Amino acid sequence: MCLGIPGRIVEIDDNPLMRMGKVDFGGVIREVCLAYVPEAQVGDYVIVHVGFAISRIDEEEAQETLRLLAEMGLSVSDELEGGKER
Amino acid sequence: MGEKRPGNSCALCTSAVETFEKLRGLCALVVKSKMTVTTFTDSFRDPDAARALAEAIRARSTRPIRLMEFCGGHTHAILRYGIPSLLPETIDLRSGPGCPVCVTSATDLDRAITLAQVPRAILTTFGDMVRVPGSRASLSQAKAQGADVRVVYSPLDALQIARQNPDRPVIFLGVGFETTAPMVASAVVAAETEGVGNFYVFSTHKLTPPATRAILDAGEVALDGIIGPGHVTTVIGSEAWRFLPDDYTIPVAIAGFEPLDILRAILALVEMIEEGKPDVANAYARSVRPEGNPAAQQVMERVFEIADADWRGFGTVPASGLRLREEYARFDAGRAFPVEVEPAREPPGCRCGEILRGVLRPPDCPLFARACTPEHPVGPCMVSAEGACAAYYRYGNLERRTAHVEREM
């Protein structure tokens, strides 16, 4: 029910009644309400739930998380290597 | 520790030949400079990183703990990606009440079915709702008998049906938590602004923190930590869960829906538990902010007020639901079309209520995978794709499930 799908904003219609836009979900383009992401611009990634964007994806946070994961993978590898030597 | 700048070559990748294959996958995660949609899905499914996280959890976890994933979407992802098989035996994952279709009471479903039978009415709702049995029938059975029941993707689609059918009452059966309630509120505001007079909402919307409190207050199942719902929390903000460390001294980690998101949350919980420092951890920071989404909160608060709500498996939970405010009473299907229903009956033998409270696991129910299957579901936990029973049936590893059951008996 709380499913959210990431997509990229390709068009914004600043309708005074409700901020709308078009979002590209990996090739499929759908109309999405952008009223809850007033800061989002064309090119931004958003998470969409039942036709509404609920957040603008923070790309820096995403990169940071992936970097931390990569680092952790390295440190775990180091530990495993160390374990073998001991 | 590692090369920090994406885009540069990763010196460590050229180190030990033995670790090269493992590292290559991980380095691929960070050198991507241009994001695509799949950056937010595939990168968070990387099997090498998952194994690394599982190793870290294994290394850190010393004592048996039980964690509850509140959200049905998490239950589904956990089983789909085989996360239990990656975790040490010390960690027991319990499903919670986070399947909105499942926690909708049979009485509310009976009311919705009666509303579908209002002359000339069109009842609209999300797909999962139509198959769930009330005490006597489901919405799909009501449809087979002539009621006009339509599945919509968005509450705005229901509003569009109302615009196109101005001489017929169009009722939207609103189910869902804080993630979904704002969208229904926005549809009501739009109906008000445009003067759409035949659009009504039957709100069974529910709030997640009060249900979490109800589980902890009941004390039926001892929990050491909570995996917080990622999209509910995108709306309400991670600080809305501060009561867990403050009032119950248990940690919460907000998780996204990819396997690495869930594993990161579990690692954060294990660390907080092992250190005895319960806190609110945000393992889904690319979407969740401490304050949540203010625009979504504002429209939800404008249209709805907090009320007691009936939950399947819980009964009435104080201040755990949303009803339309007096100012929006004319959009309230419950007030526009008062319907009386007989006291609801639960399906005999169905243990969905205990499963929603985390007291039982799906395989503990004598009907599970025998009398109750996705093709012939007895209760809502097997009907909804998000239901714990449906997820266990579809993805569960029977051996591990059996091992858990035996250990607990």
Closest-CA residue to B107 (of B339, B377, B356, B367): B339
The answer to whether position A63 is within a domain reads yes
Spatial strand order in the sheet of B252-254: B91-98, B65-71, B225-228, B252-254, B280-282
pTM exceeds cut of 0.80? yes
Residue B73 or B397, more confident: B73
Q: How far apart are CA B238 and CA B345, in angstroms?
A: 37
- The DSSP 8-state label assigned to residue B224 in this structure reads S
Record: contact A1-B230, CB cut-off 8 A: no
- Residue for token digits 């993630």? B179
B43 close to A (CB below 8 A): yes
Closest-CA residue to B387 (of B172, B102, B35): B102
pLDDT in tens, B117-133: 999 999 999 998 998 88
Average pLDDT, integer, range B228-233:
98
Q: What share of chain A is helix, strand, coil (3-state, %, to 5)?
A: 30, 35, 35
The answer to whether position A14 is within a domain reads yes
pLDDT beyond 80 at A81? no
Q: Where are the alpha helices (DSSP H) in A3-85?
A: 59-85
- Residue for token digits 């004319």? B330
| ipTM entry | 0.87
pLDDT beyond 60 at B342? yes
pLDDT beyond 80 at B29? no
Domain coverage including residue A30:
5-80
Give me the phi and psi of B15, to 5 degrees please: -80, -140
Task: List the structure tokens of B36.
Answer: 């695509």
The answer to whether position A9 is within a domain reads yes
At residue B343 the predicted structure's pLDDT band, cuts being 50, 70 and 90, is confident
- Residue for token digits 């889904």? B284
pLDDT beyond 60 at B14? no
**What does the DSSP assignment read for B78-118?**
HHHTTHHHHS-TTEEEEEEEE-HHHHB-HHHHHHHHHHHTS
pLDDT beyond 50 at B138? yes
Give me the phi and psi of A11, to 5 degrees please: -160, 145
User: What element of type H or E holds B311?
Assistant: strand B304-311
B287 contact residues in A (CB cutoff 8 A): 4, 47, 54-55, 57-58
Q: How far apart are CA B28 and CA B13, in angstroms?
A: 10
Q: Considering its fold, how many domains does chain A have in total?
A: 1
CB B206 within 8 A of CB B178: no
Average pLDDT, integer, range B268-293:
98
Record: contact B56-A62, CB cut-off 8 A: no
The distance of B179 to chain A (nearest Cα, Å) reads: 6
Q: How far apart are CA B51 and CA B63, in angstroms?
A: 20
The answer to whether position A46 is within a domain reads yes
The CA-atom distances, in angstroms, between B312 and each of B67, B99, B139, B234, B299 are 22, 11, 17, 25, 27
Give the SS3 label for residue B257: coil
Give me the phi and psi of B47, to 5 degrees please: -65, -35
The answer to whether position A86 is within a domain reads no
The answer to whether position A85 is within a domain reads no
The answer to whether position A10 is within a domain reads yes
Q: How far is the first Cα of chain A from the last one, in angstroms, to the nearest whole number?
A: 49
State residue A75's pLDDT score. 59
pLDDT beyond 50 at B8? no
Average pLDDT, integer, range B331-355:
91
State residue B405's pLDDT score. 38
CB pairs < 8 Å spanning A and B = 179
pLDDT in tens, B234-243: 999 999 999 9
pLDDT beyond 50 at B4? no
B231 close to A (CB below 8 A): yes
pLDDT in tens, B57-110: 999 999 999 999 999 999 999 999 999 999 999 999 999 999 999 999 999 999
B361 close to A (CB below 8 A): no
The distance of B120 to chain A (nearest Cα, Å) reads: 26
The distance of A49 to chain B (nearest Cα, Å) reads: 8
State residue B386's pLDDT score. 84
Task: List the structure tokens of B135.
Answer: 């005490």
Record: contact A80-B55, CB cut-off 8 A: yes
The answer to whether position A49 is within a domain reads yes
A32 contact residues in B (CB cutoff 8 A): none
CA atoms within 13 A on the CB side of B43: 25
Record: contact B153-A69, CB cut-off 8 A: no
Taking CA–CA distances from A47, the nearest residue in chain B reads B287
Record: contact B190-A71, CB cut-off 8 A: no
pLDDT in tens, A41-75: 999 999 999 999 999 999 999 888 888 888 877 65
How much is the mean pLDDT over chain B? Answer: 89
State residue B118's pLDDT score. 95
pLDDT in tens, B371-388: 999 988 889 999 988 899
Q: How far apart are CA B350 and CA A82, in angstroms?
A: 51
Q: How far apart are CA B377 and CA B3, in angstroms?
A: 52
> Tell me, what amino acid is at B381?
C
State residue A78's pLDDT score. 57
pLDDT beyond 60 at A28? yes
User: What is the share, in percent, of chain A residues with pLDDT greater than 70?
Assistant: 84
B155 close to A (CB below 8 A): yes
B293 close to A (CB below 8 A): yes
CB B206 within 8 A of CB B321: yes
At residue B401 the predicted structure's pLDDT band, cuts being 50, 70 and 90, is very low
Where residue A43 sits, what CATH number does that domain have? 2.30.30.140
pLDDT beyond 50 at B19? no
pLDDT in tens, B344-362: 888 889 999 999 999 999 9
